[in-house]
Amino acid sequence: MSGDNEETLTAEETPVDEKEVEEKMISPEKAEEAKLKARYPNLGNKPGGSDLLRKRLQKGQKYFDSGDYNMAKAKIKNKQLPTAAPEKTEITGDHIPTPQDLPQRKPSLVASKLAGQVQFY
């Protein structure tokens, strides 16, 4: 929390009413951050760090090898498949795609609707 806006008070001298003033001066961004941390206490402090970036680099990777698959099956045997977990990390290997989940792989042979439409007016 930034106390630098106050000119005379040091960190030790923060009476109750000073804290109130501080709270009012929290930027909306910091207030949102507090909200997020309250909901996800396990969230790390390095949002732009390698976890987020590596997840981004691996975008789209849903498949894995049979070793992962069997390990995950063993884990899941004892409990239900978790529905959308609150944490934002997806561990490859824990998510088992079923044939129904897999997106269609064939190309869009249907013509784009942008080309097919009669003029709107």
Partner 1 sequence: MSCAGPGGGSNDVQWCFSQVKGAIDDDVAEADIISTVEFNQSGELLATGDKGGRVVIFQQEQESKNKPQCRGEYNVYSTFQSHEPEFDYLKSLEIEEKINKIRWLPQKNAAHFLLSTNDKTIKLWKISERDKRPEGYNLKEEDGRYVDPNTVTALRVPVFRPMDLMVEASPRRVFANAHTYHINSISVNSDCETYLSADDLRVNLWHLEITDRSFNIVDIKPANMEDLTEVITAAEFHPNQCNTFVYSSSKGTIRMCDMRAAALCDKHAKLFEEPEDPNNRSFFSEIISSISDVKFSHSGRYLMTRDYLSVKIWDLNMETRPVETYQVHEYLRSKLCSLYENDCIFDKFECCWNGNDSVVMTGSYNNFFRMFDRGYQQDVTLEASRENSKPRSVLKPRKVSTGGKRKKDEISVDSLDFNKKILHTAWHPLDNIIAVATTNNLYIFQEKLN
User: Which stretches of the chain bind partner 1, using CB under 8 A?
Assistant: 2, 4, 27-33, 35-37, 39, 43, 45, 47-50, 52-54, 56-57, 59-65, 103, 105-115, 117, 119-121
Q: For residue 21, how many other CB atoms are within 10 A of its CB? A: 13
Q: Which is nearer to partner 1, 75 or 92 (CB)?
A: 92
**Residue 83, CA distances (Å) to 21, 69, 103 in order:** 42, 18, 19
* Burial of 80 per CB tally in 10 Å (0-12, 13-18, 19+): exposed
Nearest approach in angstroms of CB 112 to partner 1 is 4
Nearest approach in angstroms of CB 63 to partner 1 is 4
C-alpha–C-alpha distance, residues 61 and 58, integer Å = 6
Q: Which is nearer to partner 1, 16 or 118 (CB)?
A: 118
Nearest approach in angstroms of CB 88 to partner 1 is 8
